[in-house]
Amino acid sequence: MASKSLCFLLLSVLVAYYIYKPLPENIEEKWKVMLMDATFRSLGHLGTLAEMFGMKHYMDVMMLLTYAEGTEPTSNDQVIVTDTSFSNVPVRVYIPKGHSTSLRRAIIYIHGGGWCLGSASMQPYDQLSRQSAHQLNAVIVSVNYRLAPKFHFPIQFDDVYNLVTFCLQEKFLEKYSVDPNRIAVSGDSAGGNLAAAVSQMLLHDPQVKVKLKIQLLIYPALQAFDLSTPSYKDNAYMPILSKTLMIRFWSEYFTTDRSLFEAMMSNKHIPSQDAHLLKYANWSTLLPEQLKKNHVYNMPANQNTFFVKKYPGLLDVRASPLLAEDEKLIGLPLTYVITCMYDVLRDDGFMYVSRLRKAGVHVVHEHYDSVFHGILLMNSWPFDFSIAHRIVDKYLNWLDNNL
């Protein structure tokens, strides 16, 4: 009996130890955050094990969460939901059942998941799209681009670009009664990366006549150049996106070869000969003082050109839109950026805001100082955070007034 109790006690301590994680003071609903983080971490450990034994690719295991959260395209009395494809790119479309006879607004939504995971059908994305369609009386096209590790850069970008240009054509606009002057592109995390890259490309594409009114970048990843910014350092172990996982995502975007991952982890993938590009991602000049703290800025000191030669995507603005020249940013649409304090990607967002403003782009920057990466998706059971609803309400309100 005593030994049973002892076992139980030991087990409880172990479980508590596994779940417990010291979190910043101002994070709300801490225990829920810890439980959620422990769930993600467990899946990650399972992925690492499966990979170690040669059973599955790490991302195949992580993908279980995407499947587990999958939903059917079910319509209700507010929104008609269909899975279909446009220009050979699979999409989930949400059409509001409004009785208005005027033209509607439209949002093309690009989900996150590090170019490796996620789907428009995941419960949190499905919910956000339904809510957007209903509240804004807008057509939402949520895109299922192809994912790594099966497909690498620039396939993800190309899929999204094809889809967006398809949606900007007259044929599509007429069929769905969309107002060509009121179209936005929005995305979170890797989706924010694709949204930013697509917006830049559209600006200089003579084939595209209809222009975007707004780009919404929700805690976007914007550069694979410097993976040692203050936010990568300060938030390396924050829920739910660790530095290791983000770098794994970046490296998988380009290749499944693990040597790129190793080089990126030590921030030695960019040779000093490409340092001229660093001014576009120089956190020491682009970040506000309070985020720099006592971090010291270092130039790349490595001479290894192997990775940029083998994976030219590393220097490509379609992967790292923050590396675009100043002139390429001029004329970008009205921009809404969300950043989170406890997020490795925080500084990417801040640097882009600062560069866009210098280029004369109108930017609305919502920085949340008590949240972590992925918060917008924490909108449904069992990981439903009240702050997530406040952020979504603000986002939809802003869209309602500006799109």
Ligand X SMILES: *[C@@H]1O[C@H](CO)[C@@H](O)[C@H](O)[C@H]1NC(C)=O
- C-alpha 26 chain-centroid distance: 23
150 touches ligand X (CB under 6 A): no
User: Could you tell me which of 377, 293, 333, 393 has the C-alpha nearest to residue 123?
Assistant: 377
Q: Which is nearer to ligand X, 151 or 297 (CB)?
A: 297
Q: Which is nearer to ligand X, 126 or 226 (CB)?
A: 226
**Pairwise CA distance, residues 41 & 383, whole Å:** 15
Q: Which is nearer to ligand X, 285 or 303 (CB)?
A: 285
Which residue in the block uniquely carries the two structure tokens 């972590």? 372
Tell me the window of 77-85, 139-147, 231-239, 282-290 that interacts with ligand X (CB under 6 A). Answer: 282-290
**Pairwise CA distance, residues 388 & 218, whole Å:** 13
Tell me the window of 160-168, 189-197, 218-226, 274-282 that interacts with ligand X (CB under 6 A). Answer: 274-282
Please name the residues in contact with 388: beta carbons below 8 A apart, sequence gap of 6 or more: 375, 376, 377, 378, 379
* Active-site residue flag, 373: yes
On the 0-12 / 13-18 / 19+ scale of CB atoms within 10 A, 116 is: buried
391 touches ligand X (CB under 6 A): no
* Active-site residue flag, 45: no
Q: Which is nearer to ligand X, 70 or 288 (CB)?
A: 288
- C-alpha 308 chain-centroid distance: 24
**Helix locations, 217-317, DSSP H:** 230-234, 243-254, 258-265, 283-286, 289-292, 306-310
Q: Site mask, ligand X, residues 294-313, x = CB under 6 A? A: ---x-x--------------
Q: Site mask, ligand X, residues 224-263, x = CB under 6 A? A: ----------------------------------------
Shortest distance (Å) from residue 277 CB to ligand X:
8
* Active-site residue flag, 343: yes
The values of phi and psi at residue 348, to 5°, are -55, -50
Structure tokens at 284: 């020491």
285 touches ligand X (CB under 6 A): yes
273 touches ligand X (CB under 6 A): no
Structure tokens at 165: 């240009």
**Active-site position among 134, 152, 269, 373:** 373
278 touches ligand X (CB under 6 A): yes
**Active-site position among 126, 226, 234, 343:** 343
The footprint of ligand X (CB under 6 A) covers: 275, 278-279, 282, 284-285, 297, 299
Catalytic positions, written as ranges: 189, 343, 373
